[in-house]
Amino acid sequence: MSFTVAIVGRPNVGKSTLFNRLVGKRLALVAEEPGVTRDRREGTARLFDLTFTVIDTAGLDEAEAASLEARMRDQTERAVESADLALLLIDARAGLTPLDRHFADWLRRGSTPVVLAANKCEGRDSEAGRMEAFALGLGEAVPLSAEHNLGLSDLRDTIAAAVGDVTEPDQSAAEADQDRPMQLAIVGRPNVGKSTLVNKLIGEERVLTGPEAGITRDAIAIEWRYKDQPIRLIDTAGLRRRAKAVEKLEKMSAADTQRAVNFAHVVVLLLDAEAPMEKQDLTIARQVVDEGRALVIAVNKWDLCPDRAGTMQALSDRLERSFPQTRGVPVVTISALRGDKLDRLLDAVFTAYEIWNRRIPTAALNRWLAATLERHPPPAPGGRRIKLRYITQAKTRPPSFAIFCSRPNKLPDSYLRYLENAIREDFDLPGTPIRIALRKGENPYAPKK
């Protein structure tokens, strides 16, 4: 079955816990304090024989217009409008609250079908709250405990009855593989415009934005297409220096952002034109490259930059001096708020993705190795020259090479950097991480084991 279920309810009733249970992963941040979830997050849920899209939403709360809470509620309302079914979750142990009644009335006035579920039903003290739920006028509440994995079979039957038979078209394995999206993560310091950039790229207010720093708390993945290319766009929380991240929730957000980088294909590091390439930006860039991801640098708020030539020169000098291990990282100047040069940014992303996936024939590599050794032979520690016999590309993503040599433990790191830079320049691999592994060739005169 193919349909969408939006989980809604007041803050701290267990929506994110149920979301994580349905998708089988800890995708959404969960903490004891209310209001952790701010943006809506989508995932693929598997509930016995049902497979559907589930949306975790921010807690419904009454708020003044233009406030952060009001923008969070607007995101929840959009999720309900786009869903085939709304799952209203209440806390059975706390019983009904005025907020539960208020938002049940709001859901009844809408066109989206509603299923009522009572969470935290693992003990006897939940029975009274579950009985109170009849007053909402949404029928009997499905008793469950998302934390203890109880009541999901009843939830499955209720959801299946509510959505009816919605079948999805068959898709061959080849078509599914061809339609596999590129994972694109947007990272950077807080308040550099990551969420604004995501909204401008997809053409809708999909994630929360505002003047407050740190609005985004967890990594939000959005399925999107650009020029018929499927993209999984990931908006992440801003990364501060570890010494400044003292609160538990901020540490959880940073860990969630790191996971997004680990699973991304291309990472866009967003900078602020008013303070480009600070120490924290370099730290983030090194984390991306150490993880082996393709990197693109975007300088945001370029329309507000008073000295563009000086800023770009200072940025180039800082990259050359502090980040020499990945030469040729593409740098694109943009304005996320105005939508300036976003096509150039995406062109740079696809170019970086193609380079990250590039494979070089073994014959070309060995011709290159012979010419490189002739131009600059390896050192001869102790008077014995190290022989580099053969090179092959072990894998892509990122381009990784294996060189068979006589004494791999004696080859200095400086010569490895020389080989890496030569591969990057001669085979046109700018900006992408390159891995070189040294392997000892077999001695034909050594006794066989």
Whether residue 282 is predicted with pLDDT greater than 80 in this model: the reply is yes
Please report, for the domain that includes residue 159, its CATH number. Answer: 3.40.50.300
Query: Rounded distance, CA 183 to CA 394, Å?
Result: 22
> DSSP of 62-97, one letter per residue?
---TTSHHHHHHHHHHHHHHH-SEEEEEEETTT---
- pLDDT of 116 reads 93
* Best CA proximity match to 427, nearest among 387, 384, 388, 398: 398
Distance of CA 313 to the CA centre of its chain: 31
DSSP letter for 330, please.
-
Range of the domain at 15: 4-163
Query: Rounded distance, CA 304 to CA 306, Å?
Result: 6
Q: Is 414 domain-assigned?
A: yes
- Say yes or no: 301 and 186 in one domain: yes
- pLDDT of 170 reads 44
At residue 440, the 3 state secondary structure works out as strand
Distance of CA 369 to the CA centre of its chain: 38
Query: Rounded distance, CA 123 to CA 129, Å?
Result: 11
Angle among Cα 289, 293, 299 to the nearest 5 degrees reads 75
Amino acid (1-letter code) at residue 32: E
Whether residue 216 is predicted with pLDDT greater than 80 in this model: the reply is no
In sequence order, the β-bridge partners of residue 1 are none
- Say yes or no: 394 and 266 in one domain: no
Q: Which of 324, 356, 388 is the last residue of a domain?
A: 356
CA-CA-CA-CA dihedral for 116, 121, 125, 129, to nearest 10: 0
- Only one residue has tokens 């983030």, namely 284
- pLDDT of 64 reads 56
Q: Is 447 domain-assigned?
A: no
- Say yes or no: 422 and 404 in one domain: yes
Please report, for the domain that includes residue 389, its CATH number. Answer: 3.30.300.20
Q: How confident is the model at residue 103 (pLDDT cuts 50, 70, 90)?
A: confident
Amino acid (1-letter code) at residue 143: P
Query: Rounded distance, CA 108 to CA 100, Å?
Result: 12
SS3 content of the chain, % helix, strand, coil (to 5): 40, 20, 40
Query: Rounded distance, CA 117 to CA 151, Å?
Result: 10
Q: Radius of gyration over alpha carbons of the chain, in Å?
A: 27
Q: Which of 290, 325, 356 is the last residue of a domain?
A: 356
Mean pLDDT of 271-299: 91
- Say yes or no: 328 and 274 in one domain: yes
The answer for residues whose C-beta is within 8 angstroms of residue 53's C-beta and 6 or more apart is 2, 3, 4, 5, 42, 43, 44, 45
- pLDDT of 11 reads 85
Q: Is 177 domain-assigned?
A: yes
DSSP letter for 9, please.
-
Q: Which helix (H) or strand (E) holds 176?
A: helix 173-178
Whether residue 217 is predicted with pLDDT greater than 80 in this model: the reply is no
Q: How confident is the model at residue 212 (pLDDT cuts 50, 70, 90)?
A: low
Q: How confident is the model at residue 69 (pLDDT cuts 50, 70, 90)?
A: low
Q: Is 144 domain-assigned?
A: yes
Each residue's pLDDT tens digit, 364-399: 999 999 999 999 999 888 888 889 999 999 889 899
- pLDDT of 182 reads 93
Query: How many helical (H) and strand (E) elements, i.e. helices and strands, does the chain have?
Result: 13, 15
Task: List the strands of the sheet with 294-300, edge to edge.
Answer: 220-226, 229-235, 182-188, 266-272, 294-300, 331-333
Each residue's pLDDT tens digit, 141-192: 899 998 888 889 889 989 988 887 443 444 444 444 456 799 999 999 888 9
- Say yes or no: 319 and 427 in one domain: no
Q: Which of 141, 163, 185 is the last residue of a domain?
A: 163
pTM: 0.69
According to DSSP H, which parts of 233-327 are helical?
248-263, 279-290, 308-322
DSSP letter for 303, please.
G
- Say yes or no: 179 and 139 in one domain: no
Q: Is 448 domain-assigned?
A: no
The answer for residues whose C-beta is within 8 angstroms of residue 254's C-beta and 6 or more apart is 237, 239, 240, 242, 245
Whether residue 260 is predicted with pLDDT greater than 80 in this model: the reply is yes
Residue pair 238/260 in contact (Cβ under 8 Å)? The answer is: no
- Say yes or no: 346 and 370 in one domain: no
Q: Is 125 domain-assigned?
A: yes
| Terminal Cα distance for the chain, rounded | 57
Residue pair 416/436 in contact (Cβ under 8 Å)? The answer is: yes
- Say yes or no: 141 and 18 in one domain: yes
Query: Rounded distance, CA 318 to CA 273, Å?
Result: 14
Query: What is the pairing mode between strands 388-395 and 400-405?
Result: antiparallel
Whether residue 79 is predicted with pLDDT greater than 80 in this model: the reply is yes
Calculate the alpha carbon distances from 129 to 59, 105, 117, 249, 380 in Å. 19, 18, 11, 30, 80
- Say yes or no: 80 and 216 in one domain: no
Whether residue 29 is predicted with pLDDT greater than 60 in this model: the reply is no
At residue 284, the 3 state secondary structure works out as helix
Higher pLDDT, 342 or 95: 342
Q: How confident is the model at residue 125 (pLDDT cuts 50, 70, 90)?
A: confident
- pLDDT of 59 reads 64
Half-sphere exposure of 423 (CA within 13 A, CB side): 32
How many domains are there within the chain? 3
Each residue's pLDDT tens digit, 391-417: 999 889 899 999 999 888 899 999 999
Mean predicted lDDT score pLDDT of the chain: 83
- Say yes or no: 307 and 366 in one domain: no
Amino acid (1-letter code) at residue 140: E
Q: Is 449 domain-assigned?
A: no
Query: Rounded distance, CA 368 to CA 390, Å?
Result: 11
- pLDDT of 172 reads 44
Query: What is the pairing mode between strands 229-235 and 182-188?
Result: parallel
Tokens of 431: 């900006």
